[in-house]
């Protein structure tokens, strides 16, 4: 059983070292958050604009083409 407590103590030591703040590590900070927030707002605006523009697109073909073309598909001409 002493082996079990040694491994538990080692695991706790690793968890404690992960929780401590290391001054030598680089973190994104406030500037990183601001840049990320601006990029997220830009993507949101672009998606909203794209949705608005896609709503204006008419995917249906006009009925005049069907009546004038005879209703059949056009066959490619061979030369």
pLDDT at 61 over 80: no
pLDDT computed for residue 58 by the predictor: 82
Convert the pLDDT of each residue in 10-56 to its tens digit: 666 665 555 566 778 888 899 999 999 999 999 999 999 999 999 98
Q: How far is CA 41 from CA 21, 48, 59, in A?
A: 31, 10, 30
Name the DSSP letter for residue 24. T
Q: Looking at residue 70, what DSSP letter applies?
A: T
Whether the model pTM is above 0.85:
no
Q: Is residue 1 over pLDDT 50?
A: no
């Amino acid at each position: 059983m002493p082996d079990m407590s040694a491994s538990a103590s080692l695991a706790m030591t690793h968890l404690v070292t992960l929780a401590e703040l290391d001054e030598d590590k680089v973190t994104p900070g406030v500037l990183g958050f601001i840049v990320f927030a601006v990029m997220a707002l830009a993507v949101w605006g672009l998606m909203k604009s794209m949705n608005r523009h896609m709503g204006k697109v008419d995917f249906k073909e006009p009925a005049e083409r069907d009546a004038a073309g005879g209703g059949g598909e056009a066959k490619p001409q061979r030369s």
